[in-house]
Amino acid sequence: MDFNGSDTIPGPRTEDHLPQSTQAAAKIVIVGGFGVGKTTMVGSVSEIRPLTTEETMTEAGIGVDDNYGSDTKTATTVAMDFGRIRITEQLVLYLFGTPGQERFWFLWNGLFEGALGAVVLLDTRRLEVSFDVMGRLEERGVPFVVAVNTFPDGPRYSVEDLRAALDLPPEVPIVECDARRRASSRDVLMTLMRFLHSLALSGSLT
Ligand SMILES: Nc1nc2c(ncn2[C@@H]2O[C@H](COP(=O)(O)OP(=O)(O)O)[C@@H](O)[C@H]2O)c(=O)[nH]1
Ligand SMILES: [Mg+2]
């Protein structure tokens, strides 16, 4: 499947050098349960060819990786996805997509080191697969926004209903996205950056 969608921004994707105007870089993690679209999002938005460590699902994952709602999926990310996007003239984001499966949580300490913020991806058919991840982020004090990846057969909920179901405070942004589309994934990152900016202004970022 072509994850880049039809709105891929024209021109060469690979920018190996950072432009002179770049002044700052930030680390962002993309998290969520199995099959919610992390690899897809990093792949659609990255300006460099994304690095991904996918491995064909093995016996070890059978019965452990809940494959519901993603029956065509035969690969799962065992370590992480990595990409890069220049979000403004000055700011570059380094993206780390990290697996939500419990057996990979030992990776998280290192992956969250120095992370400015996170995107939690949700699949409305299986909201519960992203619950634990949100709890972990809260424990570690990593601010996050919630992006609802719209799968065609997924139930649609209002933002208010989702906020109540996820027990999220009113300030945490919840947005819809299509992880396959570059512009949509970029919008999610912009929402996160605006949220982080507002936290910094209000003095809530430590
Ligand atoms: N319809 C739809 N399918 C998606 C979207 N994002 C991902 N997928 C599909 O969902 C499956 C799981 O995505 P993947 O990025 O591998 O999930 P990950 O386990 O979170 O990395 C893939 O087979 C994609 O085809 C989306 O926004 N819309
Ligand atoms: Mg993946």
Q: Which atom of ligand 1 is found nearest the CA of 180?
A: 27
User: In angstroms, rounded to a whole number, what is the distance separating the alpha carbons of residues 89 and 21?
Assistant: 6
DSSP H helical ranges for the chain? 38-45, 108-112, 131-140, 159-166, 182-201
Long-range contacts of 11-14 (CB under 8 A, 24+ apart): 13/46, 13/47, 13/48, 13/49, 14/47, 14/48, 14/49
Question: Regarding predicted confidence, which is higher, 97 or 73?
Answer: 97
DSSP 8-state secondary structure symbol assigned to residue 73 = -
pLDDT value of position 101: 63
CB 37 near ligand 1, within 6 Å: yes
pLDDT value of position 7: 46
- How far is the centre of ligand 2, averaged over its atoms, from the C-alpha of 200 (Å)? 31
What are the residues facing 175 on neighbouring strands? 147
Which region among 16-30, 140-154, 175-189 has the lowest average model confidence (pLDDT)? 16-30
Ligand closest to the CA atom of residue 147: 1
User: In angstroms, rounded to a whole number, what is the distance separating the alpha carbons of residues 206 and 145?
Assistant: 17
Which region among 32-46, 75-89, 139-153 has the lowest average model confidence (pLDDT)? 75-89
* 70-87 average pLDDT score: 72
User: In angstroms, rounded to a whole number, what is the distance separating the alpha carbons of residues 142 and 147?
Assistant: 16
Q: Where are the beta strands (DSSP E) in 41-140?
A: 51-56, 75-86, 91-97, 115-123
Q: Return the structure tokens found at 129.
A: 């697969």
* 10-28 average pLDDT score: 73
User: Which domains does the chain show, CATH number per domain?
Assistant: 19-202 (3.40.50.300)
Q: How confident is the model at residue 96 (pLDDT cuts 50, 70, 90)?
A: very high
Q: Which atom of ligand 1 is found nearest the CA of 178?
A: 27
Q: How confident is the model at residue 70 (pLDDT cuts 50, 70, 90)?
A: low
Which region among 50-54, 76-80, 157-161, 176-180 has the lowest average model confidence (pLDDT)? 76-80
Helix axes 38-45, 182-201, angle to 10 degrees: 90
Question: Regarding predicted confidence, which is higher, 4 or 101?
Answer: 101
Ligand closest to the CA atom of residue 65: 1
Q: How confident is the model at residue 75 (pLDDT cuts 50, 70, 90)?
A: low
CB 108 near ligand 1, within 6 Å: no
